[in-house]
Amino acid sequence: MTQEEPTRSDLTGKGGGVRIERLFSWWTLATGLLVLAILALILTTTTKQAWPAFQDMGLSFITSSTWDPNPASGNPVFGSLAFIYGTVVSSLIALLIGVPISIGIALFLTELAPRRLRGSAVMVVDMLAAIPSVVFGLWGVLVLAPLLVHVYQGIHDVFASVPVLNSIFGEPVGTGRSFMTAGVILAIMIIPIVTSISREVLSTVPQANKDAAFALGATQWEMITGAVFPHSFGGLVGAVMLGLGRAMGETIAVSLVIGGATNITPNVFAGGNSMAAVIVQQFGESTGTFTAALIGLGVVLFGLTVVINLAARLVVRRAEARVQGAAR
Amino acid sequence: MTTTVPPAERADAGPPSLRPSALAPRRRITNRVAQVLITLALVVALVPLAWVTISVLARGFQIISWEFLTEDIPNSYRRHGPGMAPAIVGTFLITGAAALMAVPLGVFGAIYLNEYGKQKPLAQVIRTMADVMTGVPSIVMGLFIYTVVVVVTGEQTGFAGALALACLMLPIVIRSSEEILRLVPDDLRQASLALGARRWRTILTVVLPAAISGITSGALLAIARAAGETAPLVATIGITFTVNPNLFSGQNTALPAQIFRNASQPFEGAQERAWGAALTLVVIVFVFTVLARVVVSRFAIKER
């Protein structure tokens, strides 16, 4: 600033809507704070509503695998370990299938794709994100699951005599509604988010690093493993964690294809249930402590996804900040 | 380590060949395989997209008709035949009400982040938490609204569902609007301020008009996403088989909720209606998504 100080006659005066200015800025601040308020309210109100169930069950709410809302004798029992197990297993399957595909697409978009193909490739991912989850669920339960049974049977037969694998790939359930089917559907559903974050992360790799790798005689794949991956590893971890958060919270599609059994088994072809799916399946017929227990599942789910999302965002942000630091 | 090794004698004196064929076969094949696998990833993602689209189109068109769009839902899952009007009306009303709440609030939140908060710690916290909020499972939003609205009023209504959807849309609108506001050139703000306009006036008359197409596009995408949400509605809106145009009293229904209900039935009639509802929903979501793209390309911020 080399100019002279302007005369400060009217510029800071009381006229011209100082009051409106103040009201306006407070109003925008209030709407911004709404986000924090809603998150805090979700935590407090749902925890309060779920309290009877937490009080009844204590720690066994998450360590017991007995879920019996309407027992013939006496007290209902709400142990959600089987559902936590189902959430973890179906999400892990989703990551195992979805992450390589997502990172592959992201690499294709950033490194391989010819410019004119890039637009339509991005559109494929966008359209995948636009399809409502309930439609994937409908397709999964009526079209995919009945077909997958035969695939499962084939895999089961192949591994029938291999020690550990024959319990993982056990006897498939007749309807095809299983952990595996849920995992496959979830994999499709997390592809858009993992791809778009991975793409963001991969595009921060400096061109100079890539050129340097090529100048040393690297092939394209060697350039990717030598220059791109080390640079973007942190960000990719963040992308995978965001996908995990999405997979764990997905409700409707999973509820339709996972089978609805309270089941802890290594057999991925068996039916089971997940936390989110149980809530939506049983909420309609629940009363009293049963409702409280289902809301309690929601509280656990909320806590888990918030922690995972927060960690993922911090990881991605730190990775991006490091890139900016390096560029300076 | 310090001794210099003399370069090995090469048989031919010319420069080394840089052609791909000169690579060691192992390296060349690894590279080729990796390239093919990476390209294959896109094809693999294309399969479910095409398959789902074809299934929905093929099965949906079998039942969809004028009657399907205008008649009440049969109150027995076993019955064949049309009727999805209450769900279509419900989807439009509930999603519309949610948008009316979430879009203005979200835009003002974005204005705070980009125009007032900037890099302040509070703004950073809100930004991060808005990102986290987009990751909160939609079923949790449903339980939240069930707890604070349905339990209190003692009634499941369309409005409760709209509130749940609004909670889902809010962070999406905030983050997408903020991205757009950031693209508005600072020159515009400075010019307006230099003319003596206060910041609120600058924001309302200069910044927002410049960003309106991007904000609209982001809002349309948020609406498209909310229209397809099922889980928050299951606990909040209940069920009805006739059109209920009143959001504030009486139970309601929506397309995703109907798809979910009917898909879990073993009866042919219900499954047919689920496919029909799915086709209707996909068309609605698709229209909003395309609209968002058109708005953005038509009225994009002029690059200067």
What pLDDT digit, counting tens, does each position of B50-80 carry? 999 999 999 999 988 898 898 888 888 888 8
Kindly list the residues from chain B whose CB atom is less than 8 angstroms away from the CB atom of residue A111: 38
Report percent pLDDT > 70 for chain B. 93
- Break chain A into its structural domains and give their ranges: 82-327
Under an 8 A CB cutoff, do A310 and B128 touch? yes
Closest in B42, B148, B259 to A135, CB measured: B259
**pLDDT above 70 (res B264):** yes
**pLDDT above 50 (res B243):** yes
Average pLDDT over chain A, rounded to whole? 88
Under an 8 A CB cutoff, do B55 and A191 touch? no
- SS in 3 state form for B144-184? HHHHHHHHHHCCCCHHHHHHHHHHHHHHHHHHHHHHHHHHC
Average pLDDT over residues A246-275: 91
- Break chain B into its structural domains and give their ranges: 31-63, 66-298
**Cβ–Cβ under 8 Å, residues B129 and A36:** yes
Selected for mutation to probe chain B from A49, A112, A134, A257 (highest B CB count within 10 Å) is A134
**pLDDT above 90 (res A4):** no
**Cβ–Cβ under 8 Å, residues A37 and A44:** no
**pLDDT above 80 (res B111):** yes
Other C-beta atoms closer than 10 Å to the C-beta of A14 total 7
In degrees and rounded to multiples of 5, residue B145 shows phi and psi of -70, -35
Average pLDDT over residues B217-240: 91
**Cβ–Cβ under 8 Å, residues B113 and B127:** yes
Q: What span, in angstroms and rounded, lies between the C-alpha atoms of A130 and B289?
A: 8
Under an 8 A CB cutoff, do B49 and A131 touch? yes
Average pLDDT over chain B, rounded to whole? 89
Burial B7-26 (b: 16+ CB within 10 A, else e): eeeeeeeeeeeeeeeebeee
Report percent pLDDT > 70 for chain A. 93
Average pLDDT over residues A106-135: 89
Q: How many CB pairs under 8 A join A and B?
A: 264
CB contact, 8 Å: B143 with chain A? yes
Kindly list the residues from chain B whose CB atom is less than 8 angstroms away from the CB atom of residue A48: 147
DSSP, res A172: P
CA-based nearest residue in chain A for residue B288: A130
- Residue pLDDT, tens place only, A316-327: 888 777 665 554
Rg, C-alpha atoms of chain A: 25
Lowest mean pLDDT among A101-115, B64-78, B129-143: B64-78
For residue A328, what pLDDT band results from cuts at 50, 70 and 90? very low
CB interface of B with A, residues 59-118, below 8 Å: 105-106, 108-109, 111-113, 115-117
Residue B190, exposed/middle/buried by CB under 10 A (0-12, 13-18, 19+)? exposed
CB contact, 8 Å: A24 with chain B? yes
pTM of the model: 0.89
Burial A262-272 (b: 16+ CB within 10 A, else e): bbebebbbbbb
Under an 8 A CB cutoff, do B140 and A298 touch? yes
Higher local confidence (pLDDT), A194 or B2: A194
Closest in B44, B52, B260 to A131, CB measured: B52
CATH class of B66-298: mainly alpha
CATH class of A82-327: mainly alpha
Rg, C-alpha atoms of chain B: 27
**pLDDT above 90 (res A148):** yes
Q: How far apart are the first and last CA of chain A?
A: 24
Residue A77: what pLDDT? Answer: 87
**pLDDT above 60 (res B276):** yes
CB contact, 8 Å: A310 with chain B? yes
Average pLDDT over residues A36-56: 93
For residue B249, what pLDDT band results from cuts at 50, 70 and 90? confident
Cα B189 to the chain's mean position, in Å? 30
Q: What span, in angstroms and rounded, lies between the C-alpha atoms of A273 and A290?
A: 17
Under an 8 A CB cutoff, do A128 and B45 touch? yes
**pLDDT above 50 (res B303):** no
